[in-house]
Amino acid sequence: MRPSPQVVPFGPDHLDAATSLLSDRQRRLRALRPELPTAFEESAAHLPTLRALLERDGASGVAAVSDGAMAGFLIGYPRREPIWGRACWSPIDGSALADASDPELIRDLYAAWSRHFVELGHFRQYVHVPADDPDLTAAWFHTGFGIMQAHAVRDLELAALAPDGVTVRRALPGDIDRIEDLLPLIAEALARPPAYAVRLPEQLATYRDSWAEELEEPSAHHWLAEDGDQVLAMATFYAADPGPMVPEGAWELAVAMARPEARGRGLMRALLAAGFAEARESGATQCITDWRTAALPTHRSWTALGFRPTHYRLHRHVDERIAWAGGRRG
């Protein structure tokens, strides 16, 4: 039996090996998902992100080492926010295993990594896993995690006509009054069973002002579908930030909503067709988006519209009582 890798604190000496694991992973994933960017097959492309991750306030990581070689690593950082709670996060480039490593190793890494955060009261935990690595995903599931958010991609080849009587056009800065009653629709969809995801009333109160600004934002591409004077649906696109899971030059579908009574008529398909055509003209070939997988109509719509997950955000909420109920009699 081969000796198990030793799990040690992640230090500056581990950086180069970790970037190599990420570039090897990118090669593995690109064999299945050629739309992912080639640039991240180079180790050096991962260095700035990994450095930035380690420099975050409170960042902590672990590495698994076997015979002097890195078998895997896991790095994350704490966030304290009203919605997400006192939590530790590890982004998609915050972990990777060597090609030959047993996916079970992620559980040993997580045991050491999470201990640090749990001792500091970070019971909510968010990690990311490539969608095309089912064995690694299973290892996370066996440790109490579940899928919360899908991050996905599709190409921009989509032709669709708006339903009869519906016009599709770019939104203008003066459209704020016309879109205002659509703004809470995502929050409402997220709150519904079985998603039960919260948006706080004080956040909703800021929507009108922030959207009035957003309509003026030159880098945003807002599209509306309207019937006469009534806006029925809306979709907003931006050029996406680069990353290992973002096809080169991709656009991002950041916001999308349709009035409940207008859903299922092909409005979103028509808005995507319009936004995608604009993206193609700028040279893009792919679009990314993400959604809460427990929001059923949303999940089913994006899946039907051809978005295919590249990675998932997984979530685990450790029982807070572990802080005092540690198996010894009090």
Ligand X SMILES: CC(C)(COP(=O)(O)OP(=O)(O)OC[C@H]1O[C@@H](n2cnc3c(N)ncnc32)[C@H](O)[C@@H]1OP(=O)(O)O)[C@@H](O)C(=O)NCCC(=O)NCCS
Q: Return residues touching ligand X (CB under 6 A).
A: 185-186, 189, 233, 256-258, 263-269, 291, 295, 297-298, 300-301, 304-305
How far is residue 270's CA from residue 5's CA, in Å, rounded to a whole number? 52
Q: Which is nearer to ligand X, 118 or 148 (CB)?
A: 148
Q: Which is nearer to ligand X, 139 or 186 (CB)?
A: 186
3 state SS of 96: strand
State the nearest-atom distance from the C-beta of 75 to ligand X, in Å. Answer: 28
State the nearest-atom distance from the C-beta of 186 to ligand X, in Å. Answer: 5
State the nearest-atom distance from the C-beta of 61 to ligand X, in Å. Answer: 31
Cite the DSSP H helix spans in the chain: 15-32, 47-55, 105-119, 134-141, 176-179, 185-191, 201-204, 207-214, 267-281, 296-304
How far is residue 87's CA from residue 172's CA, in Å, rounded to a whole number? 38
Q: Which is nearer to ligand X, 15 or 187 (CB)?
A: 187
State the nearest-atom distance from the C-beta of 53 to ligand X, in Å. Answer: 26
Q: Which is nearer to ligand X, 47 or 183 (CB)?
A: 183
State the nearest-atom distance from the C-beta of 271 to ligand X, in Å. Answer: 8
How far is residue 161's CA from residue 267's CA, in Å, rounded to a whole number? 9
Q: Which is nearer to ligand X, 101 or 301 (CB)?
A: 301
Task: Label residues 82-91 b or e (16+ Cβ within 10 Å = b).
Answer: eeeeebbbbb
For 126, left (φ over 0), alpha (ψ -120 to 50), or beta? beta
State the nearest-atom distance from the C-beta of 317 to ligand X, in Å. Answer: 22
Q: Which is nearer to ligand X, 73 or 291 (CB)?
A: 291
Q: Which is nearer to ligand X, 71 or 267 (CB)?
A: 267
Match 């039907």 to its residue by tokens: 304
Beta bridge mates, 287 = 154, 251
Q: Which is nearer to ligand X, 65 or 296 (CB)?
A: 296
How far is residue 184's CA from residue 189's CA, in Å, rounded to a whole number? 9
Rounded to the nearest 5 degrees, what angle is found at the Cα of 53, between the Cα atoms of 47 and 58? 150
Of 203, 194, 189, nearest in space to 81 by CA: 203
State the nearest-atom distance from the C-beta of 103 to ligand X, in Å. Answer: 29
What is the DSSP code string of 117-131?
HHHTT--EEEEEEET
Q: Which is nearer to ligand X, 17 or 256 (CB)?
A: 256
Q: What's phi and psi for 44, nearest 5 deg?
A: -60, -25
State the nearest-atom distance from the C-beta of 289 to ligand X, in Å. Answer: 7
How far is residue 7's CA from residue 110's CA, in Å, rounded to a whole number? 10
Amino acid code (one letter) for 299: H
State the nearest-atom distance from the C-beta of 295 to ligand X, in Å. Answer: 6
